[in-house]
Amino acid sequence: MEGPSGNYRPRTAGQRSGQPGSADNGVRDWQKNTWYGPAPLNTNPFDEPEDAPELREFRSENVNERVGDFWAPQQTGSHPVRPGTGTGTATKAKKPAARGKHRTLKALAGVVVTVLAVVLILRFAVFTVRNIRVTGNSGVPAEEVIRSSGIRTGDNILTLNEKNVEQRITSDYRLQYRYMDRQLPDTVVLAVREREPCCWLIYCGIMYVMDKNRMVLYESEDPAQRPANLVEIKGLEVRSNTMTGQYIILGNDVQQSVFSELFLEMKVLNCTDQIAEADISNTDSILLATRDGYTAGLGGRENLHAKLRSLLLVQEELKKLDKTGGTINVSNPESPIYTP
């Protein structure tokens, strides 16, 4: 590049390429090109021009040296942003952590899916009820017991609620619940006990057959249906609840207690089928009639077990002696008295 001494002629203010310029066209002095020589070396291009002092406040003496607050590193989050790098450095620093977090989430999602798959397999393929067995029933068909329990094939064997099963079974007045046995992986055993009729009574011309807890198992107005192997109970003060499936309520609490104790002891001694009648109208003088024709006086409700056992032993001895009929007083079971 040549200076003014060569062929170079600088363009003056107001000139355009290819046009001579003779006028300033309103150009101010500081806007005119006043340089007529080669570019000076090692000079600061931002030195203050003498003809434009008003630009001082917009210029920096330290631009070339890159010093000052402008060039200081800026902090963005936990990653410093250095000059010339912008925010790219911080973004690149975060990428590995983001990829690690993504891999962790994928691993967790895989574990959840696996667990759900195992649970579904166990629920619908392995621990599913396929067989239901019933024990303890005789008169009530097994299908009716299963229907009463509410258990169906296809149910999950692990989630069966035993309390609900018990409530549903006992809602059938003919059944008593004992237990439920889960035989993994697919079998359920229901153990029940049927209510056993033990006595009957005539009330308002209707026969009611009851169990030892005074629950009415069935009723009939036909005298021919009176069961020959059950005890006819007499003298009960019936108050209410004479419908099938209900517990007959007695008006006398003592009589109610004597009824329960008497039939419980008969069942324990397995002698219910040997007693034809039981009269408890007077709880201080309980009377029984055996099927062999003997009348037994038990006295009060005390020591019913011993009194019944004494009656059975005396009756067997009398039969050996060919004595039939008569009265056996066992109010004192250790000293029974026989009257022909």
Per-residue pLDDT band at 219 (split at 50, 70, 90): very high
Q: Higher model confidence: residue 24 or residue 274? A: 274
At 102 the pLDDT is 75
- In our burial notation (b when 16+ CB lie closer than 10 A, e otherwise), range 116-144 reads eeeeeeeeeeebbbeebebebbeebeeee
At 108 the pLDDT is 82
At 210 the pLDDT is 96
At 101 the pLDDT is 77
Per-residue pLDDT band at 76 (split at 50, 70, 90): low
State pTM to two decimals.
Answer: 0.61
Per-residue pLDDT band at 200 (split at 50, 70, 90): very high
Q: Higher model confidence: residue 208 or residue 52? A: 208
Per-residue pLDDT band at 176 (split at 50, 70, 90): very high
Distances (CA, A) of 279 to 22, 198, 300: 151, 14, 12
By three-state DSSP, how is residue 296 classified? strand
By three-state DSSP, how is residue 259 classified? helix
Which candidate, 328, 274, 330, places its Cα nearest to that of 304? 330
Domains plus CATH for the chain?
A: 131-194 (3.10.20.310), 199-339 (3.40.50.10960)
- Say if residue 10's pLDDT is above 60: no
What does the pLDDT average to over 278-288?
A: 97
What does the pLDDT average to over 39-44?
A: 55
Which candidate, 152, 156, 159, places its Cα nearest to that of 123? 156
At 223 the pLDDT is 82
At 315 the pLDDT is 96
* Per-residue DSSP letter, 287: E
- Say if residue 207's pLDDT is above 90: yes
- Say if residue 111's pLDDT is above 60: yes
At 202 the pLDDT is 94
* Amino acid at site 186: D
d(CA 79, CA 86): 11
The β-bridge relationship of strands 231-234 and 275-279 is: parallel
- Say if residue 107's pLDDT is above 70: yes
By three-state DSSP, how is residue 249 classified? strand
What does the pLDDT average to over 202-216?
A: 95
